[in-house]
């Protein structure tokens, strides 16, 4: 059995009752009023995503072991909330510094970004509940231990979350080709950096809710950078500017 998944009704139910972090639960498709309404109610109560799939999909995922129409993916660690990140910033007496990821699907990209977030001292990472990689074992391994130190929140609506952060005084910079060169932008103060998906970039609604778009200069033949590389450069530019500002204002 893959150590990132549990299958069978009783094992999945016991996992949920234990309070351990869960990324998502898969069910074999059932009609209304199916046998798993008790578990689905528990998932809704804990805001855990779930999905209905055909039986062949679960057969394949479990190597045809007895799954009883149910499989749960275990998270590498507990998820935090956006409020936890703001509280951490307040505890450190720092302006909030948060990374938001729009539908990043490669676990190696998320793991690498968690490592950079820890390195620059940012206060957390926000990912969507749908169409995004979660805190899997691969992410944990790629992060080289950073997953244990970085707050990660999963939210239902990135745009709504962004709007709430703006109300709390955060300025939002979206990393997008054609934007102002990041090295010439003011990235100090309360800041959210938005990085788009590997293929599509930042979605339209999210882009429209950014306060500004910033980009990295490209002098070579390729037109874009890997999401984790671009995100890491952006995060370090924020750190550089914060460090410069602190140095200049120190007595």
Are 63 and 100 found together in one domain? Answer: no
Find the domain containing 212 and state its range.
82-249
74-109: pLDDT as tens digits: 888 889 999 999 999 999 999 999 999 998 989 999
pLDDT at 18 > cutoff 50: yes
174-190: pLDDT as tens digits: 999 888 999 999 999 99
Are 217 and 179 found together in one domain? Answer: yes
Ranges 52-61, 117-126, 145-154, 207-216: which has the least confidence: 52-61
Are 89 and 172 found together in one domain? Answer: yes
Please compute the mean of the pLDDT values over residues 201-207 and round it to a whole number: 93
Are 193 and 103 found together in one domain? Answer: yes
Are 107 and 130 found together in one domain? Answer: yes
The percentage of the chain sitting over the pLDDT mark of 90, rounded to a whole number, equals 53
Are 70 and 100 found together in one domain? Answer: no
Are 14 and 52 found together in one domain? Answer: yes
pLDDT at 1 > cutoff 50: no
Per-residue confidence (pLDDT) for residue 163, from 0 to 100: 97
149-174: pLDDT as tens digits: 999 999 999 999 999 999 999 999 99
**Could you tell me the CATH number of the domain that includes residue 70?**
3.30.1330.30
Domain boundary among 74, 91, 114: 74
Domain boundary among 54, 74, 94: 74
pLDDT at 115 > cutoff 80: yes
C-alpha–C-alpha distance, residues 96 and 251, integer Å? 23
Per-residue confidence (pLDDT) for residue 2, from 0 to 100: 42
**Could you tell me the CATH number of the domain that includes residue 134?**
3.40.1280.10
Number of domains in the chain: 2
Are 55 and 167 found together in one domain? Answer: no
Domain boundary among 74, 93, 117: 74
């Amino acid at each position: 059995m893959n150590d990132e998944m549990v299958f069978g009704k009783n094992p999945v139910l016991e996992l949920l009752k234990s309070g351990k972090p869960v990324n998502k639960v898969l069910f074999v498709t059932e009609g209304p009023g199916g046998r798993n309404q008790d578990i689905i109610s528990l998932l809704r109560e804990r805001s855990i995503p779930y999905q209905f799939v055909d039986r062949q999909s679960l057969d394949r995922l479990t190597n045809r072991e007895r799954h009883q129409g149910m499989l749960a993916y275990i998270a590498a660690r507990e998820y935090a909330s956006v409020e936890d990140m703001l509280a951490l910033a307040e505890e450190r007496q720092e302006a909030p510094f948060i990374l938001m990821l729009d539908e990043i699907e490669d676990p190696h990209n998320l793991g690498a970004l968690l490592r950079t977030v820890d390195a620059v001292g940012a206060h957390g990472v926000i990912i969507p509940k749908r169409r995004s990689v979660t805190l899997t074992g691969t992410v944990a391994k790629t992060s080289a231990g950073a997953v244990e130190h970085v707050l990660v929140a999963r939210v239902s609506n990135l745009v709504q979350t962004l709007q709430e952060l703006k109300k709390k005084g955060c300025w939002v910079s979206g990393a997008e080709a054609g934007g102002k060169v990041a090295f010439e932008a003011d990235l100090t103060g309360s800041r959210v950096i938005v990085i788009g998906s590997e293929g599509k970039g930042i979605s339209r609604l999210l882009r429209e809710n950014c306060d500004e778009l910033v980009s990295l200069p490209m002098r070579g033949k390729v037109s874009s950078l890997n999401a984790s590389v671009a995100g890491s450069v952006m995060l370090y530019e924020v750190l550089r500017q914060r460090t410069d500002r602190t140095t200049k204002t120190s007595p």
